[in-house]
Copies of this chain bind each other. A is one copy, B any other.
Amino acid sequence: MITKKAEYAIIILTELASHPQGTVITSKRIAEKRAIPANLVVQLLAVTRTAGWTVGARGPTGGIKLTVDPAEINMRQVIEAVDGPIGITRCLFSDKPCHDKTHCSLRGVWSEAQDKMLSVLENVSIKDLTDAAQNDC
């Protein structure tokens, strides 16, 4: 399951992308506008910062802004930055087949199903979401 935190991170990035380029917005303002708990916003901005997508300026006139083109950030990247590697089943997380069997036909199905899902998420960028009218999911 894709967590609510990952959804929040996507929303936060779309909020940042919808601002005039170069201007900052405070984490508190993002929380208010998007109805996300303020502390969670701060937490998630730490993730986006580590990923190299945002920078924060401290002090009274401080705030957050994007450092990259929102067209260059896709949904899969954000989800994985927040939730870690995506796996629709437990067995897709480990490298070796379950029970040390040489082959596992189920694994191939899980893998294909997951890849289909991921390719959709990879093809939607933060810019795509910002362009769409409303994205307050």
Contact = CB atoms under 8 A, between A and B. Distances in A.
A33 interface: no
Contacts of A114: 117
Interface of A: 1-2, 4, 7, 10-11, 35, 75, 87-91, 97-99, 101-107, 109-110, 112-114, 116-121, 124, 129, 132-137
27 contacts: A1-B88, A1-B90, A2-B110, A4-B90, A7-B91, A35-B99, A88-B117, A101-B136, A102-B134, A103-B134, A104-B135, A104-B136, A105-B129, A105-B134, A105-B135, A105-B137, A106-B135, A106-B137, A107-B137, A109-B120, A109-B124, A110-B137, A113-B117, A113-B118, A113-B120, A114-B117, A117-B117
A58 B103 CA distance: 35
A80 B32 CA distance: 37
A121 B129 contact: no
A93 B95 CA distance: 31
Judged by DSSP, the binding face of A is helix
A87 B1 contact: yes
B35 A106 contact: no
B1 A109 contact: no
Nearest to A104: B137
Nearest to A6: B89
Contact of A109 (B75, B88, B103, B134): B75
